[in-house]
A and B are shown apart, each in its own frame.
Chain A
Amino acid sequence: MSIQAILQTIINSLPTIGRYALVTMGIVLIFRTTATTNFAQGLIATFGTFTISWAAYTYTDLNLWICLLIGMAAAFLLGMFVDVALIRTARHITPAGKQMITMGVMMILVNVIPVVFRDITLWNKPGKGFNADIVSFTLFGMPMNITYMGLLSFSLAVGLLAAVFAALKFTKWGLGVRATAANETVAQMLGVNTRVITAFSWALAGALATVGGFFTGAGTALNVTLMGNTQVFGFLACVLGGFGSFPAPILGAIIIPLVYNFAGNPALMGPDAGMWQNMITFIVVLLLILIFPNGLLGRKYVKKV
């Protein structure tokens, strides 16, 4: 592979990195505040994406970006509902039990979404808001290409994640999240309203993942398995980076698309690469997780009896 091909492959990974990072951020926010590995994250995002398409179809003169906001709001409310109705009530159940609750939510959503949005099959009406342009630029004197939507997805993801990290660092909500993540009971005793913190974390996770879903579905047909792969890779990104801190899973979300795109490169892996790239990625990531079971940036967790 030439240097140009390597750089181009990295640039091709940027849109996927953006989408995975958004979903992963949601998963880790939920995990840190409520000790729940949310299996329904991808489906909450799918719900948001379907809502975007529904809004774009129903109100034809509405700007697509307003539709995106409507979808984010829908997923925001759904995420908040799951926390308030289920996870808050199940606060004292073991993490494995909470995990199974989210699996139940997943089972409900996977069956309800196709019924509620029966008429929605396409992401959007052709032509509206979707831009199939390819942006060309030069990097170190070499010509590079990226799709317009991909560039948008990556920049929006970077912007949103920067905002979330800034909020975590500088706002009162962020302080509350960090306190809740460290120890929920103590945070409560010190006057942090952990109920609001967890509900808002779930809601924000849904809204962020919806942006990921919006770009995953861009220009294609919609179905309920839209976010299946993203969900699994988002989880693996969290385990790979380490669940212990907020930025570490983002590292996982950067590594996985790179592995994926290099595994799918015909010049590197042969003509059948596209067929096996999913599998190769899973194997590489699982091997990495086996070597670093606490995550690349994680600390060893010491258990007390």
Chain B
Amino acid sequence: MENSVLTTRNNPVKKALRHPFSGFISIGAALLALQIIAMANGGKWPLSSTLNGFAQVMIFAIVGYGFSFLLGYAGLASLGTAGFVGLGAYLTAYVLKHYPGVPYIAILLGVLAVSLILGLVVGFISLRIEGIFLAIVTLGLSEIFYQIFNNWIDFTNGPNGASVTKTPIFQTILGMGTTDSRRAFFILLVVITVGLLMLTYNLGRSRTGRAMLAMKNSTSAAQAMGISLLRYRLLAFLISTAYAGFAGVLFMSYFKYAAPQGYTIMLSLNILAAVLIGGSRSLVGTFLGTFIVFGTNTIFLQDIALFRDNPWIINVTIGIVIILVVMFYRGGLVQLAQNTKQTFNNLLNGWRMYRYGEDD
């Protein structure tokens, strides 16, 4: 008996499965498999609309990872997220349309630079304004972004929305067709998602992540321990805005369209909901939360007439779930999974005790 326990512990496969990266990689593998199946049977199943739904989940999950730094580690609730995603999307559209020669990586770096500068500004605001008031101030900030998207016609094409004609890299340089390039970009998205999951996981366990966690629990105590509030708060905002801007670039490259109505406070609230529902400190949880908030409607429920005709049902459910999670289950879905596992183990042990009698 004891021997078998030891072998399980040393079993390299089980050891690898315990590693958190295996979860990230299996998410990536599942998404990749969907795309490969679609390619193999010529798009009969899963439908391209389903794949687009998953692409949307992946893109907004990236925003969620950044936001979970802010909320889960630094404890700051910001409602300006949507603005930064929109900014990334619109900048990409503008550069691709007016300066077609600019390489994609330069656009990416440019958007990151702009996001970082603006993140710095918001970060400094957060140093002046504490806690719940920050949500209100960032709400004002997101309104400013909306006004820019809606009114600066030369930059954003106003209420009609901005669009891109060709998928960057795959269509412009490699010369693929529309469908092929979208598939190729989907695969790129999967790679980016898994890569960012790993990066974010390590970042969260690094010195930076731990310092932010200390700051969340008590700013004064963290300061007393020698953690610079200025440095780590700014860093949390920089990470979150950079992720949001990056997601905006990816959104524009995949969906090729952005309208101001897509970047209102509702998007910020949805991302907040996704992070809360999944569990604000778990990345797999954030991904699952994003899937529930952004994915269920487009991926599964479109086939059911009741939900297709009444899209409000799912949104109201999300609202109710937010309230329930905040009131009764702060850990979110991840906590639910852990508790279920715990209960199951307890039951199993109880049964073992009953079946085989107690040890010694």
A112 at interface, CB cutoff 8 A: yes
Q: What's the Cα separation between A303 and B218 when bound, in Å?
A: 11
Near B by CB (< 8 A), chain A positions 239-291 give 239, 243, 275-276, 278-279, 282-283, 285-286, 289-290
Q: Knowing A104-B323, A114-B312, say if A305 contacts B141 (CB, 8 Å).
A: no
Near A by CB (< 8 A), chain B positions 137-187 give 137, 139-141, 143-144, 147-148, 151
B1 at interface, CB cutoff 8 A: no
CB-CB under 8 A from A229, the residues of chain B are: 143
In the bound complex, do residue B269 and residue A107 qualify as a contact, i.e. CB atoms below 8 Å apart?
Answer: yes
A139 at interface, CB cutoff 8 A: no
Contact of B144 among A86, A99, A104, A279 (CB under 8 A): A279
A293 at interface, CB cutoff 8 A: yes
Say how far A85's CB is from chain B's closest CB, in angstroms. 9
Contact of A232 among B128, B139, B266 (CB under 8 A): B139
B348 at interface, CB cutoff 8 A: no
Say how far A29's CB is from chain B's closest CB, in angstroms. 16
B242 at interface, CB cutoff 8 A: no
Contact of B132 among A96, A278, A279, A303 (CB under 8 A): A96
CB-CB under 8 A from A100, the residues of chain B are: 77, 272, 276, 322, 326
CB-CB under 8 A from A53, the residues of chain B are: none
A108 at interface, CB cutoff 8 A: yes
Report which residue of A103, A232, A278 has the largest number of chain B beta carbons within 10 angstroms of its beta carbon. A103
CB-CB under 8 A from B224, the residues of chain A are: 305
Near B by CB (< 8 A), chain A positions 126-155 give none
In the bound complex, do residue A95 and residue B132 qualify as a contact, i.e. CB atoms below 8 Å apart?
Answer: yes
Say how far A180's CB is from chain B's closest CB, in angstroms. 18
The proximity string for B residues 312-341 relative to A, scoring 1 for CB distances below 8 Å and 0 otherwise, is 100110111111001100100000000000
Q: What's the Cα separation between A193 and B133 when bound, in Å?
A: 28
Specify the chain B residue showing the minimal Cβ separation from A95: B132
Say how far B6's CB is from chain A's closest CB, in angstroms. 45
In the bound complex, do residue A305 and residue B139 qualify as a contact, i.e. CB atoms below 8 Å apart?
Answer: no
Contact of B319 among A37, A108, A239, A286 (CB under 8 A): A108
CB-CB under 8 A from B321, the residues of chain A are: 104
Specify the chain A residue showing the minimal Cβ separation from B220: A305
Near B by CB (< 8 A), chain A positions 104-125 give 104-108, 110-112, 114-115
B33 at interface, CB cutoff 8 A: no
Say how far A78's CB is from chain B's closest CB, in angstroms. 15
In the bound complex, do residue B140 and residue A293 qualify as a contact, i.e. CB atoms below 8 Å apart?
Answer: no
A189 at interface, CB cutoff 8 A: no
Specify the chain B residue showing the minimal Cβ separation from A97: B326
CB-CB under 8 A from A279, the residues of chain B are: 144, 147-148, 151
The proximity string for B residues 214-248 relative to A, scoring 1 for CB distances below 8 Å and 0 otherwise, is 00001011001000000000000000000000000
In the bound complex, do residue B77 and residue A104 qualify as a contact, i.e. CB atoms below 8 Å apart?
Answer: no
Say how far B60's CB is from chain A's closest CB, in angstroms. 16
Total interface residues on B, CB under 8 Å, equals 41
In the bound complex, do residue A232 and residue B272 qualify as a contact, i.e. CB atoms below 8 Å apart?
Answer: no
In the bound complex, do residue A105 and residue B323 qualify as a contact, i.e. CB atoms below 8 Å apart?
Answer: yes
B273 at interface, CB cutoff 8 A: yes
A89 at interface, CB cutoff 8 A: yes
Chain A facing B: main interface SS: helix
B136 at interface, CB cutoff 8 A: yes
A236 at interface, CB cutoff 8 A: yes
In the bound complex, do residue B312 and residue A112 qualify as a contact, i.e. CB atoms below 8 Å apart?
Answer: yes
Q: Knowing A286-B137, A289-B129, say if A107 contacts B312 (CB, 8 Å).
A: no
The proximity string for B residues 333-358 relative to A, scoring 1 for CB distances below 8 Å and 0 otherwise, is 00000000000000000000000000
Q: What's the Cα separation between A106 and B273 when bound, in Å?
A: 12
Q: What's the Cα separation between A290 and B86 when bound, in Å?
A: 24
In the bound complex, do residue A99 and residue B135 qualify as a contact, i.e. CB atoms below 8 Å apart?
Answer: yes
A1 at interface, CB cutoff 8 A: no
Near A by CB (< 8 A), chain B positions 96-153 give 125, 128-129, 131-133, 135-137, 139-141, 143-144, 147-148, 151
A93 at interface, CB cutoff 8 A: yes
Q: Knowing A104-B319, A108-B319, say if A95 contacts B312 (CB, 8 Å).
A: no
Q: What's the Cα separation between A123 and B144 when bound, in Å?
A: 28
Q: What's the Cα separation between A279 and B319 when bound, in Å?
A: 29
Contact of A104 among B131, B310, B320 (CB under 8 A): B320
In the bound complex, do residue A305 and residue B147 qualify as a contact, i.e. CB atoms below 8 Å apart?
Answer: no
Q: Knowing A96-B132, A286-B141, say if A104 contacts B220 (CB, 8 Å).
A: no
Q: What's the Cα separation between A107 and B221 when bound, in Å?
A: 35
Q: What's the Cα separation between A138 and B319 when bound, in Å?
A: 52
Contact of B326 among A93, A112, A115, A232 (CB under 8 A): A93
Q: What's the Cα separation between A93 and B321 when bound, in Å?
A: 16
Say how far A300's CB is from chain B's closest CB, in angstroms. 11
Specify the chain B residue showing the minimal Cβ separation from A85: B323
In the bound complex, do residue A285 and residue B140 qualify as a contact, i.e. CB atoms below 8 Å apart?
Answer: yes
CB-CB under 8 A from A283, the residues of chain B are: 144
Q: What's the Cα separation between A276 and B330 when bound, in Å?
A: 41
In the bound complex, do residue B132 and residue A101 qualify as a contact, i.e. CB atoms below 8 Å apart?
Answer: no
Q: Knowing A90-B327, A108-B320, say if A235 contacts B136 (CB, 8 Å).
A: yes
CB-CB under 8 A from B316, the residues of chain A are: 107-108, 111-112
CB-CB under 8 A from A103, the residues of chain B are: 269, 272-273, 322
CB-CB under 8 A from B144, the residues of chain A are: 279, 282-283, 286
Q: What's the Cα separation between A232 and B143 when bound, in Å?
A: 9
Say how far B226's CB is from chain A's closest CB, in angstroms. 15
What 10 pairs across the A-B complex have the smallest Cβ distances?
A107-B319, A104-B322, A108-B319, A104-B323, A279-B147, A111-B312, A305-B220, A111-B315, A235-B136, A293-B128
Additional A-B contacts beyond A90-B327, A103-B273, A108-B319 (15; CB < 8 A) = A99-B132, A99-B135, A100-B272, A101-B323, A104-B320, A104-B326, A106-B269, A110-B315, A111-B316, A236-B137, A236-B140, A279-B151, A286-B141, A290-B125, A305-B218
26 examples of A-B residue contacts, CB within 8 angstroms: A37-B133, A86-B327, A89-B327, A90-B326, A96-B77, A99-B77, A99-B132, A100-B272, A100-B322, A103-B269, A103-B272, A104-B320, A104-B322, A104-B323, A106-B319, A107-B318, A108-B320, A111-B312, A112-B312, A232-B143, A235-B139, A236-B137, A282-B140, A290-B125, A303-B220, A305-B220
